Amino acid sequence: MNRKNLTLKNIIYLTLAAAIIGGFVLLFIEIVDELKENELIRFDEAVIQYVQAFISPRLTEYMSVITFLGSVKWLAFSVIMAVVLLFIFKKNSLAWFMVLSSGLGALFNLLLKWIFKRERPDIRPLIEEQGFSFPSGHSMGSFIFYGSLAYMIIHLAKRKRWKTAWTVMLGCFIIMIGLSRIYLGVHFPSDVIAGFAAGGAWLTIMIIGFRYYEYRKNV
**What pLDDT score does 83 carry?**
94
Q: Is there a contact between 177 and 69 (Cβ–Cβ < 8 Å)?
A: yes
Q: Is there a contact between 181 and 187 (Cβ–Cβ < 8 Å)?
A: yes
Q: How many domains does the chain have?
A: 1
**What pLDDT score does 1 carry?**
41
Q: What is the pLDDT of residues 22-31, one digit of tens each?
A: 999 999 999 9
* 47 Cβ contact partners less than 8 Å away, ≥ 6 residues apart: 182, 189
Distance CA 191, CA 120 (A): 9
Domain assignment of residue 63, given as a range: 2-218
**What pLDDT score does 212 carry?**
83
Distance CA 17, CA 11 (A): 10
Q: Which residues of the chain have pLDDT under 50?
A: 1
**What pLDDT score does 138 carry?**
95
Nearest to 94 by CA among 106, 84, 104: 84
Q: What is the pLDDT of residues 76-103, one digit of tens each?
A: 999 999 999 999 999 999 999 999 999 9
Question: For the residues of 33-80, what is the DSSP string, one character each?
Answer: HHHHTT-SHHHHHHHHHHHHTT--HHHHHHHHHHHHTTSHHHHHHHHH
**What pLDDT score does 192 carry?**
96
**What pLDDT score does 198 carry?**
96
**What pLDDT score does 6 carry?**
54
